[in-house]
């Protein structure tokens, strides 16, 4: 029976012939989480009782404050970007959850090795909080747009509360959809089934008959007497051993004393004085045949192990991306606070000077009122800037630490970032086609999507195999056996539970030695369910391929737009920097004019306010440049390398 044909979608998102070394290492690394691993999942060599001990799962890790304690001085947390990233990777709960996902993939691998189906891994990734510098908003510095220096502009600080994280699923399979289970899988873990018990057989009635020949016409009569046997005592035992192999072959070996119990004339407390034995080998020839279909769960579990590590790398990338944005937003907000403090000092000095002049009678009172208005406006701007800084501190702290954990007992009142944003005089050459190729080769989200395609192909092959007729070749040898080998279902549905062989209960009804061989055929005449499963699985695989193709196109777009954003941010910063320089020159010129009586205090006040605005705009442009740089590194998939983070260290949960 031919499975339905579905048009192919091949060649569009094939993985690179030579993947980047970082990506190959991610897939092949054997590093395991140190504090999130499961102990005793696989017994040691010759550990007979190992399989029956409950695996040990360590308690939830509360985080580590060792690095934090070294960074706190005088109640302040002095924090570099590298320290912030290290704290986040060691303590961030989103990263911690992905470490457990690696352990989940390992449990599925062990389950598949025993002949079980897979329970799956979590494809959810937590996107980072935006903080102050959300998409399209380098900084909340609306006050810089105010043309009236004496009238403050109110910024809605409640916008900072809109920092709820969004979970993104990287599963390319539609929600609620799954591939069909396919044919049964062999029981790779041997199964020993047995029962034993005492049996007393009594009041057994038999008929003893005799024949009498008549004297006429050869007629005769039959007469007999009933005989009741004395009670007989038995110990009955039945044992069965089952094991499956990767070709689909199943071995069933049985030993029991059923024939002696049924037909014996003397009690037997020794159950194996006259045992019955049976050895059965069954090999599928169509459905369930071959290592490819029977090892499919193991192959998918190995792919899932790689996927779990790629998902972990993606979560680490998201964490570095979010932490870097929050950190440099804090840097920029701190610089903006300094600008606002400087503006307030200048406005205060201006007000004090004009108070002295007004006292001497050399200044009109209205000019002093204008100076006081500027001072109030500058103070209001400083209050807003300080509020933004404190709120950003809270968001960054929650990204780095588990604030509800008792481990982090060390207290600090302020985060002091020690790194600053340095914009280069010129950008390095940006070869867009080469950068796109780099992004396609190194992005872990695309790599895991391609692995999902490979796992889907394995499931589709199993669906096609399940559409075949069931044709089994068997061979059986029995002592004191039954006259015919019963038909038995091979393997299990993936739950590891064996079907109890019928011979375990029915063996020994005869006392003959029997040799059997033959074929067993199950032929579904229409087979509509299996054909529907094949078609649906193939269509779902095409959906996965289409979504992966879309992801590939999205990566191309991400790289191209990130390049444009960086180039634009570079030009914007240069313009903002020049504007600040020119505004400083204008202020100096206005002060010189005032000293010779050719300007007014109002003109000086305006130019001082404009210079403060220009400085804040330059800070915002510098922040925007840094986040554009981070965005490009994210699009290229090399945030770990750029920030000197080794994946193995991140998996283990301890960075140097």
**The pLDDT value given to residue 155:** 53
Distance CA 60, CA 381 (A): 45
Higher pLDDT, 46 or 415: 415
Q: Are 517 and 283 in contact (CB under 8 A)?
A: no
State yes or no: pLDDT of 641 exceeds 60.
Answer: yes
**The pLDDT value given to residue 136:** 44
Quote the distance between the C-alpha of residue 8 and its chain's center. Answer: 29
Tell me phi and psi for residue 402, to 5 degrees.
-95, 90
CA distances from 219 to 208, 209, 216, 225, 476 (A): 21, 17, 6, 21, 49
Q: What is the mean pLDDT of residues 558-580?
A: 93
Query: Among 31-45, 113-127, 443-457, which stretch is predicted with the lowest mean pLDDT?
Result: 31-45
Higher pLDDT, 295 or 511: 295
Distance CA 293, CA 459 (A): 9
b/e sequence 531-546, b meaning 16+ C-beta within 10 Å: bebbbbbbebbbebbe
The pair of three-digit structure tokens given for residue 379, joined into one six-digit string: 């103070």
Distance CA 471, CA 288 (A): 9
State yes or no: pLDDT of 478 exceeds 50.
Answer: yes
| Res. 161 pLDDT band, cuts 50 70 90 | very low
Query: Among 196-210, 291-305, 474-488, 503-517, which stretch is predicted with the lowest mean pLDDT?
Result: 503-517
State yes or no: pLDDT of 100 exceeds 90.
Answer: yes
Distance CA 555, CA 558 (A): 5
State yes or no: pLDDT of 10 exceeds 60.
Answer: no
**The pLDDT value given to residue 558:** 94
Higher pLDDT, 496 or 487: 496
Specify burial of residue 201 (Cβ count, 10 A radius: 0-12, 13-18, 19+).
middle
Higher pLDDT, 565 or 37: 565
Neighbours of 457 (CB within 10 A): 16
Distance CA 302, CA 643 (A): 29
b/e sequence 175-200, b meaning 16+ C-beta within 10 Å: eeeebbbbbbbbbbbebebeeeeeee
| Res. 350 pLDDT band, cuts 50 70 90 | confident
Domains identified in the chain and CATH numbers: 21-183+295-334+412-459+532-652 (1.20.1600), 191-209+221-244+249-287+470-523 (no CATH)
Q: Are 63 and 401 in contact (CB under 8 A)?
A: yes
Q: What is the mean pLDDT of residues 387-397?
A: 89
The helix (H) or strand (E) run that includes residue 563 is helix 528-595
The pair of three-digit structure tokens given for residue 405, joined into one six-digit string: 């954990």
**The pLDDT value given to residue 38:** 85
- The answer for 496, left when phi > 0, alpha when psi is -120 to 50, beta otherwise, is left
pLDDT in tens, 353-385: 888 887 887 777 887 888 888 888 889 889 988
CA distances from 515 to 275, 277, 475, 476, 482 (A): 17, 12, 8, 6, 10
Instruction: Answer positive or negative: Cα dihedral of 523, 525, 528, 531.
Output: positive
**The pLDDT value given to residue 511:** 63
pLDDT in tens, 449-476: 999 999 999 999 999 999 999 999 999 8
State yes or no: pLDDT of 297 exceeds 90.
Answer: yes
pTM of the prediction? 0.86
């Amino acid at each position: 029976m031919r499975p339905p044909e579905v048009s192919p979608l091949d060649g569009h998102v094939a993985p690179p012939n030579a993947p980047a070394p970082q990506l190959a290492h991610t897939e092949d690394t054997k590093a395991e989480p140190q504090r999130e691993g499961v102990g005793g999942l696989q017994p040691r060599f010759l550990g007979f009782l190992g399989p029956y001990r409950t695996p040990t799962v360590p308690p939830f890790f509360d985080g580590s404050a060792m690095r934090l304690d070294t960074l706190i001085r005088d109640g302040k947390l002095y924090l570099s970007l590298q320290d912030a990233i290290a704290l986040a990777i060691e303590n961030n709960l989103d990263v911690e959850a992905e470490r457990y996902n690696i352990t989940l993939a390992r449990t599925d691998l062990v389950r598949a090795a025993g002949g079980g189906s897979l329970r799956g891994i979590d494809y959810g990734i937590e996107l980072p909080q935006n903080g102050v510098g959300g998409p399209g908003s380098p900084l909340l510095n609306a006050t810089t747009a105010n043309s009236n220096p004496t009238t403050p502009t109110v910024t809605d600080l409640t916008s900072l509360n809109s920092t709820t994280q969004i979970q993104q699923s990287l599963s390319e399979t539609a929600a609620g959809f799954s591939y069909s289970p396919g044919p049964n899988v062999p029981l790779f873990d041997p199964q020993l089934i047995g029962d034993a018990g005492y049996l007393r057989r009594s009041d057994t009635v038999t008929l003893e008959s005799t024949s009498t020949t008549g004297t006429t016409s050869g007629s005769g009569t039959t007469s007999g007497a009933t005989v009741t046997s004395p009670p007989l005592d038995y110990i009955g035992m039945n044992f069965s051993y089952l094991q499956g192999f990767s070709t689909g072959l199943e071995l069933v070996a049985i030993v029991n004393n059923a024939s002696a119990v049924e037909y014996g004339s003397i009690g037997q407390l020794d159950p194996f004085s006259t045992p019955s034995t049976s050895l059965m080998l069954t090999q599928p020839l169509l459905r369930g045949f071959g290592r490819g279909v029977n090892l499919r769960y193991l192959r998918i579990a190995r792919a899932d192990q790689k996927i779990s590590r790629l998902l972990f790398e993606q979560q680490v990338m998201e964490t570095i991306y979010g932490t870097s944005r929050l950190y440099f937003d804090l840097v920029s907000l701190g610089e903006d606070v300094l600008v606002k403090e400087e503006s307030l000092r200048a406005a205060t000095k201006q007000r004090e000077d004009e108070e002295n002049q007004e006292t001497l009678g050399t200044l009109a009172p209205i000019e002093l009122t204008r100076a006081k208005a500027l001072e109030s406006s500058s103070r209001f701007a400083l209050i807003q800037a300080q509020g933004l800084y404190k709120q950003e501190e809270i968001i960054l702290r929650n990204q780095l630490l588990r604030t509800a954990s008792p481990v982090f007992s060390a207290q600090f009142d302020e985060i002091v970032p020690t790194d600053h944003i340095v914009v280069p005089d010129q950008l390095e050459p940006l070869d867009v086609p080469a950068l796109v190729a780099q992004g396609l080769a190194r992005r872990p989200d695309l790599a895991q999507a391609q692995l999902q395609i490979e796992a889907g192909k394995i499931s589709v092959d199993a669906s096609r195999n399940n559409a075949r007729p069931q044709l089994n070749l068997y061979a059986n040898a029995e002592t004191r056996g039954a006259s015919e080998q019963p038909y038995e279902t091979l393997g299990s549905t993936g739950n590891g539970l064996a079907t109890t062989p019928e011979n375990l209960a029915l063996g020994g009804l005869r006392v003959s030695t029997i040799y059997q061989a033959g074929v067993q055929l199950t032929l579904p005449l229409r087979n509509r369910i299996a054909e529907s499963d094949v078609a649906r699985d193939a269509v779902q695989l095409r959906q996965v391929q289409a979504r992966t193709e879309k992801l590939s196109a999205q990566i191309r777009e991400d790289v191209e737009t990130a390049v444009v954003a960086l180039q634009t941010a570079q030009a914007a910063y240069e313009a903002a920097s020049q504007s600040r320089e020119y505004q400083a020159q204008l202020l100096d010129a206005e002060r010189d004019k005032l000293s010779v009586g050719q300007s007014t205090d109002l003109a000086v006040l305006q130019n001082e306010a404009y210079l403060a605005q220009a400085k804040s705009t330059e800070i915002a442009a510098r922040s925007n440049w840094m986040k554009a740089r981070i965005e490009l590194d994210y699009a290229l998939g090399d945030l770990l390398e750029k920030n000197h983070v080794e994946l193995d260290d991140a998996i283990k949960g301890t960075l140097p």
